[in-house]
Amino acid sequence: MGEDKSALSEHIVSLLVLNHPGVLSKITSLITRRGFNIDSIAAGPTKERDMFRLTIIVKGDDRGVEQIQKQLYKLVDTVKVMTIHPSRKVEREIGLIKLHAPLGGRNEIMQLVGVFEGKIIDSSTEGIIVEITGNSEKVDSFLSHFNPQQILEVARTGIVAMDRFEKNGA
């Protein structure tokens, strides 16, 4: 029997791990061996020099993601595993978009960059590179304004996310 695709939802798993060689490989292998596809992964240092935070987006049912969490805790380098509930998430993604934009046809693009509160971070006679920061939908929406011939290259960071503060300020 196949999995009920309607029961699959997006889950944000945030991990604190020790910064050792091979940790990322162990984590991604564990997740993919259990039949989950990683939709997005972002990793970076924390305020603790020897630790990294990973933000991983997977689609699956609640039970399957709970199993992944339990298995991640068994890895020696894992310090903490959290899921971030969609209603409590604060998320950002950075998109760098290289656009074909001859010198004479940039006004509309520059106006759009302003509307999306983006930045032009590089330009040449052939085109520009734009930075858009926000949630994934904002990056997707910006890209939807261009035809495929205008978009020369796209690089996206993947989502980084945190839980919002509790009501008591913690």
pLDDT digits (tens, 9 = 90+) for 43-92: 999 999 899 999 999 998 889 889 999 999 999 899 999 999 888 889 99
Report helix angle 23-33 to 62-74, nearest 10: 150
Contact residues for 164 (Cβ-Cβ < 8 A; gap 6+): 88, 89, 90
* Domain spans, the chain: 7-84, 90-162
Q: What is the 3 state secondary structure string of the chain?
A: CCCCHHHCEEEEEEEEEECCCCHHHHHHHHHHHCCCCEEEEEEEECCCCCEEEEEEEEEECHHHHHHHHHHHHHCCCEEEEEEECHHHEEEEEEEEEEEECCHHHCHHHHHHHHHCCCEEEEECCCEEEEEEEECHHHHHHHHHCCCCCCEEEEEECCCEEEECCCCCCC
CATH topology identical between 7-84 and 90-162: yes
pLDDT attached to residue 87: 85
CB 27 within 8 A of CB 54: yes
- Residue 8: the pLDDT is 80
The yes-or-no verdict on residue 102 having pLDDT over 90 is no
Tell whether the model's pLDDT for residue 1 goes beyond 60.
no
Taking alpha carbons only, the member of 102, 104, 103, 114 closest to residue 145 is 114
pLDDT tens track for 108-153: 999 999 999 999 999 999 899 999 999 999 999 999 999 999 999 9
| CATH dotted code for 90-162 | 3.30.70.1150
CATH 3.40.50.300 is right for the domain spanning 7-84: no
Residue-level pLDDT at 39: 92
Q: Return the amino acid letter for 71.
A: Q
> Residue 168: pLDDT band by 50, 70, 90 thresholds?
low
pTM listed for this prediction: 0.80
Alpha carbon 138 to its chain centroid, in Å, reads 12
6-36, pLDDT tens digit by residue?
Answer: 468 889 999 999 999 999 999 999 999 988 8
